Structure 1
Amino acid sequence: MSNPLYPLHAYCFSLFICSLSRFSVDLTDCYYEQFHLISKDPSFTVRSDGAIVAVAEVSVTTRGRTFSVLAEDNTGRESELEVHLAIAPQKKERTGILKRTKRRWSPPPLEIPENDLGPFPKAVETIRSDSEAKEPVYYEISGPGVDQGFFTLDRETGILYVHQTIDREKIPKFIVIVSAFSRRTNQQSDQPLDLAINVLDKNDNAPEFKDSLQFTVLEQSNPGTVVGQVNGTDKDEENTFRTKIKYTLLSGTDLFAIHPETGVITTVTNTLDREDKEKQLVIVQLQDMFGASDGLSTTGTATITVGDINDNPPTFTKTSYEASVPENESEKLILRIPVVDRDLINTPNWVSKFVITKGNENGNFRIDTDPKTNDGLLYVSKPLDYEKTKSIKLDVMARNVAELTGTTAQWSSIPVNVNVIDVDEGPEFTAPTIRFIVKENVPNNTLIGTYTASDPETKSSDGIKYYKVTDPASWISVDKNTGELRVANTIDRESNFVQDGIYNITMKAVDSTSKTGMGKVILQVEDENDNIPVVPISDLVICETQGKFGSVLVVAEDKDQPPFSAPFTFSLPTDKDGKWSVTRLNDTTATLNQIQDLPTGIYSVPVVIKDLQGFGDKQTVKVRICNCVNGVCKDRPSSISLGPLALLAMLLPLALLLLLCILLAFFCRTKGDKIELEDAGDGGGILLKSNTEGRGEEVVRL
């Protein structure tokens, strides 16, 4: 034998039969714990404790009987050993020979083979109670196995019979209750016996796949990469050699391997290529008895999906491209650039990103990706000028969202030549925007500047006319032939049309073919000292305080800008009356102080206010001295001016009162007159027929 096992003693297999229907032999000296033992003769089985048991009636001649036992150690080494049976003299006892002894009331668990085909009923064992030695007894049996019709017990002899085939995978064990009764008293002569009947397993179930055989592994994975694990199960008795499964690949061994004990599938090569074959089908075999020739097996097909990596860069379908675009156009698609990528569609390994690596320094172009086709979409994003650039050479690179891996390939680029198409354009001003500085209040007809245009192709200004498009305050006139700008009305920097000193004018130039060009003129209006400081609030209040003189703040404003405005100077005129004094508080404010005891009333106080340039005049400030409540003059007269609607609202009640008096007089005059009304019969007592559209006779005139 190759791969010899641990040595087994020869006497372990010299067995003698003392019952041809059933026997067992103890192999405690044979080191059975180190082996998996399987009988190759279906009439025998090897129990988990190492005992060889006959599971069917055995016929042995005088020459004996021989069968084989397959032994496998824990490392998987196998040996096949022969067992020799011989008939022993029944009266002679010798060591190692089975001997019939007196049955006790507490026998060990009985064992019967599964799937026994009969004939039935078949005797299993004779049950004897110790009380039978004292008096005649009879036996009864009960329990699930009896209720289901599997077992009966001969009342007189105590022989236990089995009546049908039993499947261990459905019922591995029975517990029946055996009772002994005195024939004389019909009373129990012994305690009831719980008798265990174990169903011995046979290898009658092929292993099955426990889980789905669907696995995934990335392409180009290194050898030894775990793909997944196949899990098998067997309905036969657990933890026996009959349920020890061996895993084998029957196909795909050039790419994959499977561990015979764990079922783990691994790669054996790094050549898996999703683009070549996305799904690999391999046949997996499950064998019980760890692959023994007399074991049972099952096969299944495992599907191994090869996952994608970005090992293929996008490639262009052409070597170069050419596109054309009219000048002055923007946000226009000018070219579609298709690419091919062998990686998995709609994944980062397949989705392309395009980059303009050369020729787009001025930002005239952009390139996007079509999400449906993965094509590159080249747009002109800023207008091009044919007179400046007639063609542009671009380099476009195609790459993926994911980085390349598992390949030496690089991202590729392609040249794209963009031709600019000349368009007959309208005139162009010398600059889109021009700025002129002008002082406010300059005389009319003062020349501000000239703003002209020319034809982009000929560079000539012949035949071009100039017009204003917008001039909000009508301050400018334009010479339509020369483009001269002159003052038409007084320019005022403090006007609402001026924002931060800026006044905007829109111009257009029209050539002989009525094509138009637009331009913008910015007037930067310089300030002049044409406004003096003023006091916008002249009605000031001083609340009279006993024993104290009051004061008020005088705040001045100047519409001019520095240096023609604040800081201001405040003073009283030379002919002052000695009742007031003024003190400068800050650049725009002064304090007007009362310096004499003055009665309540209104006082007009002249104050001289001048700007930084000394330009100013006398301002009259009205100051009211009064008794105050919460800072408000309590004796301040109210001056109310009523408008027409207010007068009408006051007169309306009087008019209504007058109308009411007239109506009362009318009712009093007609009260005594009785007016009979003729019923026309169809008025319902409510409405009167009338074809009169004019006014009635009874009309009250006011």
Structure 2
Amino acid sequence: MLQVFCHVLLLLLTCFYAESCVQQHIEAQVPKMLEPGYVVSQVNLNGCGDGPLELISSDPAFTVQTDGTILVVWVIVVPRDGRSFWITVQDHTGHNWFVDVSLSTTRKVSKNAVLKRAKRRWSPPPFSIKENDNGPFPKDMEMIASDTSVNYSVYYKINGPGVTETPVGLFSVVPKSGLLRVHGTVDREQYPNIVFRAHALNSYNNQETDDSLPITVIIEDENDNAPQFSGPMDFTVQERCAMGTVVGKVEATDRDEPNTLHTKIKYSLKNGTNLFSIDGSSGVITAATNMLDRETAEKYILETEIRDMNGASNGLFNTGRAVVTLSDINDNPPTFTQSQYKGKVMENKANLLVLRIPVEDKDLKNTPNWKAVYEITKGNENGNFEIKTDPITNEGLLYVTKPLDYEKQQTANLDLMARNEAPLVGTTSTWQKVPVEIAVENEDEGPEFYAPVLVLKVKENVPNGTLIGTYTATDPETKSSKDIKYYKLTDRGSWINVMENTGELKTAMTIDRESPLVYNNTYNITVKAVDTSQKTGTGTVLILIEDVNDNVPFITKPDQVLCSKSGTGGSVLIEAKDLDQKPYSDPFTFELEGENAEQWKLTGATGTSVMLQPAKELPNDLYQVPILIKDLQGNGEEQKVSVRICDCTNEGVCMPQHFSTALGVWGVLAMLLGLLLLLLLCLLCIFVCSTKGEKLAMADDYDGNGGMLLKSNLEAPGEEVKDAMLLMSSTGADIIDSSKGGGFLEQHTIMSSNGATFGQKQTYGSGMYQNNMQGLMTTNTLSSGQYNTGMYGNSYKKHSTMSTMDMWRESGIQLDSKLAYFRGETDGRFADDILRPYGYEGVGSPAGSVGCCSILGEPESLDFLDSLGPKFKTLADVCTSKSQRGGK
């Protein structure tokens, strides 16, 4: 009995020491959210010896490194009640140890809290099955057991992926024994591992006797997938690249388990190994030579094999085609198809195509490596030729651009070189050259001037007919000027005459350097030479005109505005210009001239300008300031500058003048014109009422009332019109004698500028006749025979020789005479009654008022003369002479 006990104790000690390699339980406080790479804790492996250890996590969300570090694989949310899993530690002998890991969310632990040891849970280890297993199925895998089976009668149940979730029905459990079974084939590439949950339940009440735990089934890989090409297989490399130049890399993948022989791929080439090589482990293709030539082969197709199991014969493989294209470099210069080229051209011809020169180039067409550029390296010193490239055929096109002269050169020998737009690389070849011979053919030519352009210097203003030079031509065949005639082709100003037989050039008009026909002191003409065969040649004469001092400085802006300011601070800039050149122009000298020079002063003089400013404060007005301007030679004249001093706006412009009551010139003229029209109308009335120079008498057929004049056309009892006592002197002069009654005649007429009467007052003697009309106001006072300021007798003046004022005064004298005569007549017949009021006549007269001055109330138009009515008849009766009325 003792011996059995010792054996049991030894077994227990052995198990204890075996399990003491690692700690049995790890508790870790972690955040609620765990990120990939988060370090949860570490398994202490110090007591497990030096042999290799294998550490496996039952939860695929965690992984364990070889040093025991526990890391998070993907994002995990730790539930409130925590999360648990275990870690299997296996040594090289196959012995296993298990470490329970419990995770709880991070929180502070109360100081008074009592830490309790958690009861060890049932912890079935993970197990594995092979993928693509052929069965037979179902196949037993492992047993699971819960520690609670000691105290309870339990049965087992599983659920989750592989059971109740995809792939459904793959695993099952024997409820009573806890035996796990697999029911079909599993593909590792689809399910690398499957984790489902196991539950231990009480057989009596179906309550779980322990916490459910995850069961991890690891699917062991089988090499059932061949590697596949995953990247591009088209590569490009430059021709003649150096050996070892990387062409490209072949990419491949394998679906089997990584980091195993099942996915270790080896690359190899089946052809083209003399030109290319491939790295077996990386798939990098490199050039195996430096003689890759695009002109020999532009593309290479390489058969490439990829094989897993590191290229072992039992490995799975695939083959593909890698296409390598060689890019072009300029390793071939253009070559001429002939060793020499010949052509011909007629003399005196230009802009003609002489030759087409073909070349060959093996480089890629229509690239800078193929396109040719031609150059004339010899024989074109005079610039007679030009060569271009035909962009389509790549040929050289040789042109003659300047005429050739057969008499000077019968053959032109050229050297042409052809090169590419891109420089040569990867070759020892150089650019090629070829000789070209161009024969010049002769033709009969016209005369040629010995100098195509003749330059002559001439002073301006030379006399007409001055010989300024001779321009002759020669026959290129005979080298003689005999029988050649000369004519002028162009001469814009007709300044030069060309002598027909000699070619002499003489001035025909004054040559003016300042003329707009002269540009840059140069004037040119074209001369034509004609030989006996009517062949012609042309030449150009450039006349360089030398300046003389024939212009004085002038002011460029003679009208200036000076804004009025307080004091004398304002000034204007006076600028001058001289059409001559130096030394006949600036610098100028400025001097003030004239009587008002003391009012102004000149300051700040420069070579061509000076500042003009008032020497004292001047009122706003327009001033003429004379200034003497001289050039450097003292040649000049006095010029006037108009300076307007005024109030200015912000822009420096004179402000408009305010309205003034003073009438301008045009206002006065307008008023005079209106007054003249009024006077003409009055004169017309006077002429109608006047006689031809004899005394007029009133008609004797007066009515019973004894009035001299009858006032008619009144609609009511009329105004009293009393006659003024008018006396006539014994001498016959037009003077009213005041001793016979002291009478007076006063007339006031108020008129507007358009001639319409708006007020008139007439006073005769002691009576007053007043009439209101529209018009201009004039005042005439007749007293004691005086009219205005002049005294007039009975003299008669012819109206055609009178001025307007004389006519007006003469009309007044005539009226005075008539009135005096009428009064004299009345004295003889009605001496006892000087003033006669007129009675009411009843119905108004159709003639209206017969007063001469009543015409003024009508419009100024003279159209009434065309149709004179009853008014004129009555007036005519009044104005009838005595002889007509039967008087003496």
TM bucket (normalised to shorter chain) is 0.5 to 0.7
**Equivalent residue for 1:336, pick from 351, 356, 359:** 356
Corresponding position of 1:294: 314
Where structure 2 has 5 or more consecutive residues not aligned to the other structure, the ranges are 1-47, 54-64, 67-91, 97-120, 616-620, 655-663, 678-753, 756-858, 868-888
Corresponding position of 1:387: 407
From 517, 531, 536, the equivalent of 1:516 is 536
Shift in alpha-carbon separation, 1:388–1:229, aligned structure 2, 3 A:
same
CA contact (8 A) 1:531 1:558 kept: yes
CA drift at 1:662 = 12
Check conservation: 1:542, 1:624, Cα contact below 8 A: no
Amino acid at match of 1:347: T
Contact 2:559-2:643 within 8 A present in 1 as well: no
Q: Deviation per CA, 1:134-177, whole angstroms, max 9, x where unpaired? A: 44322221111113221222334433222222111111111111
Alignment partners' CA distance in 2, 1:292 and 1:542: 109
Match of 2:125 in 1: 108
Counterpart in 2 of 1:486? Answer: 506
Q: Determine the structure 2 residue equivalent to 1:143.
A: 160
- Give the conservation status (yes or no) of the 8 Å contact 1:151–1:160: yes
CA distance in 1, matches of 2:380, 2:341: 16
Q: CA deviation at 1:525?
A: 4.0
Superposition deviation, residue 197 in structure 1:
0.7
**Residue 422 of structure 1 is aligned with which of 429, 442, 448?**
442
- CA 1:174–1:438 in structure 2 vs 1: closer, same or farther (change >3 Å)? closer
User: Aligned equivalents of 1:233 and 1:602: distance in 2?
Assistant: 103
Q: Which has the higher contact order (CA 8 A, sep 6+)?
A: 1
Change in Cα spacing, 1:319 to 1:569, as seen in structure 2 (3 Å) is closer
Separation in 2, partners of 1:457, 1:334: 25
Match of 2:144 among 121, 124, 127: 127
**Post-superposition offset of 1:272:** 1.9
Check conservation: 2:625, 2:642, Cα contact below 8 A: no
How far apart are the structure 2 equivalents of 1:201 and 1:624?
114
Which stretch of the first structure deviates more once superposed, 474-483 or 165-174?
474-483
Could you say if the C-alpha distance between residues 261 and 418 of structure 1 is closer, same or farther in structure 2, counting changes exceeding 3 Å? same
One-letter code aligned to 2:423: E
Report the Cα distance in structure 2 between the residues aligned to 1:136 and 1:572, rounded to whole angstroms.
Answer: 140
1:419-458 matches, within 5 Å, as 419-458=439-478
Equivalent in 350, 359, 366 of residue 346 of structure 1 = 366
* Contact residue 258 and residue 265 of structure 1 kept, 8 A: yes
Question: CA 1:150–1:488 in structure 2 vs 1: closer, same or farther (change >3 Å)?
Answer: same
Superposition map of 1:69-108 within 5 A? 105-108=122-125
What is the distance in 2 between the residues matched to 1:610 and 1:232?
99
For residues 496 and 153 of structure 1, what CA distance do their matches in structure 2 show?
Answer: 120
1:162 maps to which residue?
182
SS at match of 2:398: strand
Q: State yes or no: 1:284 paired with 2:304.
A: yes
Amino acid at match of 1:130: D
Cα 1:159–1:387 change in 2 (3 A) is same
Q: CA 1:589–1:323 in structure 2 vs 1: closer, same or farther (change >3 Å)?
A: same
Which residue, 308, 327, 342 being the options, matches 2:347? 327
Given that 2:628 and 2:639 are in contact with CA atoms closer than 8 Å, whether structure 1 keeps it comes out as no
Q: Deviations over 1:84-120 (max 9, x none)?
A: xxxxxxxxxxx97999xxxx94232121111112232
Instruction: Give the direction of change, closer, same or farther, for the CA distance of 1:609–1:309 in structure 2 (3 Å limit).
Output: closer
Tell me if the contact between 1:605 and 1:620 (Cα under 8 Å) persists in the aligned partners: no
Query: Structure 2: which amino acid aligns with 1:113?
Result: K
**Cα distance, 1:526 vs. partner?**
4.6
User: Secondary structure of 2:162's partner?
Assistant: helix
- Equivalent AA in structure 2 for residue 166 of structure 1: V
What secondary structure sits across from 1:354 in the alignment? strand
Pick the aligned partner of 2:250 from 208, 221, 230: 230
Q: Tell whether the 8 Å contact from 2:625 to 2:643 is kept in structure 1 after alignment.
A: no
For residues 171-570 of structure 1, what are the structure 2 equivalents within 5 Å? 171-499=191-519, 501-526=521-546
CA–CA distance in structure 1, aligned partners of residues 220 and 262 of structure 2: 12
Change (3 A) 1:279 1:454: same
**Count of residues in correspondence between the two structures:** 548
For residues 396 and 129 of structure 1, do their structure 2 counterparts lie closer, same or farther at Cα, with a shift above 3 Å needed? same
- Secondary structure at the aligned position of 2:163 is classed as helix
* Structure 2 counterparts to residues 581-620 of structure 1, below 5 A: none
Tell me which protein shows more helix as a share of its residues. Answer: 2
Asked whether the equivalents of residues 506 and 521 of structure 1 are also in contact (C-alpha less than 8 Å), the reply is: yes
Q: What are the Cα deviations for residues 578-621 of structure 1, in whole angstroms up to 9, with x where unaligned? A: x99x99999999999999xxxxx9999999999888889xx677
Does the 8 A contact of 2:561 with 2:646 survive in 1?
no
What secondary structure, in the 3-state scheme, does the structure 2 residue paired with 1:242 have?
helix
**SS of structure 2 residue aligned to 1:145:** coil
Distance 1:286 1:607, change over 3 A: closer
One-letter identity of the residue aligned with 2:132: N
Name the TM-score, length of structure 2 as normaliser.
0.52
CA distance in 2, matches of 1:475, 1:319: 59
Over 3 Å counting, the alpha-carbon distance change for 1:432 and 1:203 in structure 2 is same
Deviation at 1:628, TM superposition (A): 9.0
**In structure 1, what is the Cα distance between the partners aligned to 2:357 and 2:487?**
46
**Distance between the aligned counterparts of 1:188 and 1:521, measured in 2?**
127
Contact residue 331 and residue 425 of structure 2 kept, 8 A: yes
After superposition, the C-alpha distances for 1:356-405 in whole angstroms (9 at most, x for unaligned) are: 22222233333333333333333334343333222221212222233323
TM-score, with normalisation over the residues of structure 1?
A: 0.64
The 1:267–1:493 alpha-carbon spacing in structure 2 relative to 1, beyond 3 Å, is closer
Question: Given that residues 447 and 485 in structure 1 are in contact (C-alpha distance below 8 angstroms), is that contact kept between their aligned partners in structure 2?
Answer: yes
Distance (Å, rounded) in 1 between the aligned partners of 2:335 and 2:437? 19
Q: CA deviation at 1:517?
A: 2.4
1:530 Cα deviation (Å)?
6.1
**Counterpart of 2:436 in structure 1: which amino acid?**
V
**Aligned mates of 2:145, 2:643 — CA distance in 1:** 138
One-letter identity of the residue aligned with 1:115: N
- Residue deviations 1:206-238, cap 9 Å, x none? 111121222223333333332222222111111
> Gapped runs of 5+ residues in structure 1?
1-27, 34-47, 50-94, 596-600, 633-639, 670-702
Provide the C-alpha distance between the structure 2 equivalents of 1:166 and 1:292, rounded to a whole number of angstroms: 26
Aligned residue for 2:262, secondary structure, equals helix
AA paired with 1:107? P
| Contact 2:626 2:641 (C-alpha < 8 Å) held by counterparts | no
CA distance in 1, matches of 2:370, 2:579: 68
Q: Report deviation, 1:300.
A: 1.2
Q: Which moved more, 1:173-182 or 1:117-126?
A: 117-126
> Once superposed, what is the RMSD of the aligned Cα atoms?
5.4
Residue aligned with 1:144, SS: coil
Please report how far the alpha carbon of residue 325 of structure 1 lies from its aligned counterpart in structure 2 after TM superposition: 3.3
